[in-house]
Amino acid sequence: MSPHEHHATTPSRKADLNSEQPPHNGSMPGSEEQEAMEKTVEEEGDEEVEERNTDEGFMAMAPLLQAHHAMEKMEEFVHKVWDGRWRLFPHDVLPDWLKDNDFIVHGHRPPMPSFRACFKSIFRIHTETGNIWTHLLGCLFFLCLGIVYMFRPNISFVAPFQEKIVIGMFFLGAILCLSFSWLFHTVYCHSEGVSRVFSKLDYSGIAFLIMGSFVPWLYYSFYCSPQPCFIYLIVICVLGISAITVSQCDFFATPQYRGVRAGVFVGLGLSGVVPTLHFVISEGFLKATTIGQMGWLFLMALLYITGACLYAARIPERFFPGKCDIWFHSHQLFHVLVVAGAFVHFHGVSNLQEFRYTAGGGCAEDSAL
């Protein structure tokens, strides 16, 4: 909306008053609109002193007209959002709750208090388009892979029912993580309350992915020593639930805690170092790197940790502010690395499953695997 449209709908006397106001962004929504409205009303007070003698009757009406006009503009804004006629916003005019990364200078969606408008925005180009699609497509990919895996003939498993539940935990974790994530990025601009609820789901999803990834890996790696397997499972569940609990605090989602967030989830993933060392010490390095799939696990850790570092340090947009607004900013790269890491983990786990199938259900005396 231009300042000219702004004037067009008001009485001509009001247009004169408005032209004395400092120029402001004509389509500021929600609370900003409210602020602009209050500012206009305040400044109206000063003018009233000057013009009292000549136009006292009209000036008494002016604040009311201003408020009415601002209401009209707000309604018009809501209609525009509803029709999908919103335009992209620069970072500095966003309300505080939408200000997350100041290296992403332009291309933001405005606050859009309509789920319909948020979901329609999936098909438009803005700062969240890449974040939404990376995890929406990732989610569909793991959903299809999971369905194919669950329908594999039982003859290709040693204990089909048990193994399908165990591997199903990985797929459940991955699908929950990726779907909470694309949903969060879709409705992030709805309103402060909605964004807060979905950001908590988004963080919890990462903990679900990590917990779900541990289940089949521990199951196959410690197939012949169920006691440590059980203890490690309990430990990862306790740690995962703790991470989910911390994610429910409002401060956890704030930009200042970006590094802490990355640290919490990297720490949760790195708790896998303990069972890994246990495995390497009891089985030997050679067996760990061949049958134990340590190479794939190492690659998975590398992908996740690189993603978390890019996320925490906001690389590359920190070095090119305004150049990575739409594509290739840190959050998008982090999303791609999460999908890649999850797939590498699945590959390692399915190799472990294949080894178990060829070895049969029996266990050698001195082997955890």
Q: Residue 101 or residue 181: which is nearer to Zn ion going by CB?
A: 181
Q: Whole-number minimum distance, CB 74 to Zn ion, in Å?
A: 30
Residue 335 marked in a binding site:
yes
Which residues from 308-327 bind Zn ion, rule CB under 5 A? Answer: none
C-alpha closest to that of 213 among 316, 71, 347 = 347
Give the Cα separation of 356 and 363 in Å (integer): 10
Instruction: Look up residue 32 and give its two tokens.
Output: 């900003």
Give the Cα separation of 156 and 165 in Å (integer): 15
Q: Which residue is nearest to Zn ion (CB)?
A: 181
Of 82-90, 175-183, 231-239, 249-257, the window that binds Zn ion (rule: CB under 5 A) is 175-183
Specify whether the CB–CB gap between 130 and 182 falls below 8 A: no
Instruction: Look up residue 28 and give its two tokens.
Output: 């500021």
C-alpha closest to that of 7 among 53, 72, 58, 91 = 72
**What is the size of the binding site for Zn ion (CB under 5 A)?**
1
DSSP conformational letter for 24: -
Q: Residue 308 or residue 344: which is nearer to Zn ion going by CB?
A: 308
Q: Residue 181 or residue 276: which is nearer to Zn ion going by CB?
A: 181
Of 86-94, 177-185, 269-277, 353-361, the window that binds Zn ion (rule: CB under 5 A) is 177-185
Q: Whole-number minimum distance, CB 182 to Zn ion, in Å?
A: 8
Q: Whole-number minimum distance, CB 99 to Zn ion, in Å?
A: 16
Q: Whole-number minimum distance, CB 177 to Zn ion, in Å?
A: 10
Site string for Zn ion, 132-171 (x = CB under 5 A): ----------------------------------------
Is there a cis peptide before residue 90, judged by omega within 30 degrees of 0? no
Of 12-20, 176-184, 252-260, 269-277, the window that binds Zn ion (rule: CB under 5 A) is 176-184
Specify whether the CB–CB gap between 205 and 243 falls below 8 A: no
Give the Cα separation of 208 and 203 in Å (integer): 9
Specify whether the backbone of 29 is left (phi greater than 0), alpha (psi in -120 to 50) or beta: beta
Specify whether the CB–CB gap between 198 and 179 falls below 8 A: no
At 126, the amino acid letter reads H
Specify whether the CB–CB gap between 178 and 135 falls below 8 A: yes
Q: Residue 186 or residue 213: which is nearer to Zn ion going by CB?
A: 186
Q: Residue 181 or residue 186: which is nearer to Zn ion going by CB?
A: 181
Q: Whole-number minimum distance, CB 131 to Zn ion, in Å?
A: 5
Residue 331 marked in a binding site:
yes
Which residues from 181-220 bind Zn ion, rule CB under 5 A? Answer: 181
Binding-site residues from annotation: 185, 331, 335
- Annotated binding-site residues for Zn(2+) read 185, 331, 335
Q: Which residues sit at the interface with Zn ion, rule CB under 5 A?
A: 181
